[in-house]
Amino acid sequence: MKTLREILADADARHVAVGHFNFSEYGALKGIFDGARELNLPILLGTSEGEREFIGVHQAVALTKSLREAYDYPVFLNADHTHSLDKVKEAAEAGYDEILFDGSALPFEENIKQTTEAVKIVRAINPEIVVEGEIGYIGSSSEIVDVRPEASLKLSTPEEAVRFVQATGVDVLAPAVGNMHGLLKSMVAGTEHKRLNIALIGEIKKACGKHMTLHGGSGTADEDFVAAVAAGITIVHVSSELRLAWRRGVEQGLLNEDEIAPYKILPPAVEGTKNIVIDRLKLFNGLH
């Protein structure tokens, strides 16, 4: 089986992207994994700090490892949006395959300083762990909101990207290129989509030469996903769409008020999650 580094290098060379999907309980994880297996494509699983607190750091690692070993399948785990060096150390020691240290809300110089330290911590524990850093600012919440918080968002520049990757030594860069965490209510309704700055993606990729991640992928126009991957995006994160599909599935499962067995209530949530994963992976890999 290929390592995560090899899979990212292969995706980059073939101009496709690895799908990254967040989970915090087994029903969502089952939907994600079943969707990936149906297409026989490698995936990254993600747990944010909040998701790790809920499901457990070591438990998330154990679940991922059990799937990888039982099915001999390229599924890997990312410590998504890690904001403290202590939690970087915790995830590295627990056995995560990738760690994103997210200092994007910090002043740029402080982001460089803390990301550099995060890289040192991870390398000392296990140099095979992929380390990601983030620049620009795309918000921090995966909630559904009324209005896009334009004033708080900040696009990245190629100059910042070069300085950041050279100073920190990260393996993967997450830039702000028009993406945004969470969903607008208009996106949930399907009347609006996120639009990306494709030219900027290409400029940053050419300038820094690193694998790049698109965070806040939920709600993005399909054609922008395709163009972003062609321009140099190697990993695409989807979370809010999965949460929405999961919730709707749970609501459907609860319509039978007499049913109390979780394994009979949750299948619509699993199926809804699976369908999102299949649809997105097809887009990221040119299979539509």
pTM (predicted TM-score): 0.93
- For 175-220, the DSSP string reads --SS--SSEEHHHHTTS--B---HHHHHHHHHHH-SEEEE---TTB
Domain containing 46 — which CATH number?
Answer: 3.20.20.70
Q: Provide the number of structural domains found in the chain.
A: 1
Closest by alpha carbon to 212, among 179, 245, 243, 174? Answer: 174
Strands 130-134 and 43-47: unpaired
CA distance linking residue 43 with residue 33, whole number of Å = 8
CA distance linking residue 275 with residue 32, whole number of Å = 9
Query: Which residues are within 8 A (CB) of 57 and not within 5 positions of it... i.e. 6 or more apart?
Result: 47, 90, 91, 94
Residue pLDDT tens, the chain, 288 long: 999 999 999 999 999 999 999 999 999 999 999 999 999 999 999 999 999 999 999 999 999 999 999 999 999 999 999 999 999 999 999 999 999 999 999 999 999 999 999 999 999 999 999 999 999 987 666 666 655 555 457 889 999 999 999 999 999 999 999 887 766 666 665 766 777 999 999 999 999 999 999 998 888 889 999 999 999 999 999 998 999 999 999 999 999 999 999 999 999 999 999 999 999 999 999 997
Question: Could you tell me the residue range of the domain that residue 25 belongs to?
Answer: 4-284
